[in-house]
Amino acid sequence: MHPVRERFIRGKLMPHYLECLSNYTKINVKESDLLSPSISDGILKRLHQLRTQEQYHEITPVDSFELQRILESVFNQGEELIIWIKDADICGMLKIPDFRSINTSFDLCVDNNGILSIFDAGLKREVTIDYSPDDDYGQTREGWIAYVTVYSE
């Protein structure tokens, strides 16, 4: 993509992108907090190798307490993590200090993509949360289903 076009698209996406990341974390995320798109792209390419590993399991459904328990069981306290959401290839991924920076009671309606991936800086473990409304209940917290997939080496 042409650099001028890329900057234009990034500028258009950035306000909502930062709102989504701030919603998923306990951090008021600013553009300066993000990794560059080129670094994020390199991480994503390396992460693909982890996702092809055989060692993964899915857990469904989950609530905010179960999600917190999963994060505590997969990641270590004080371990730097990286967050991926849609448009990270254009806007950049976010590094956070550890799993305690994740807001497990995030507003389900802010990010209509509904996919959040959290992985360690060494790209050895990943938790992917894929959530969507359950048509039987509508869009209340009780009416959402979250599928969690954990990848590890």
Q: Are 127 and 74 in contact (CB under 8 A)?
A: yes
Entry pTM: 0.87
* CA atoms of 141 and 105, how far apart (whole Å): 9
pLDDT of residue 147: 79
- Spatial CA neighbour of 85 closest among 118, 59, 62: 118
- The more confident residue out of 50 and 86 is 86
Q: Indicate if the pLDDT at residue 53 is higher than 70.
A: no
Portion of the chain with pLDDT greater than 70, in percent = 88
- DSSP letter at 136 equals T
Q: Are 113 and 86 in contact (CB under 8 A)?
A: yes
Highest mean pLDDT, choosing among 43-47, 49-53, 62-66, 97-101: 97-101
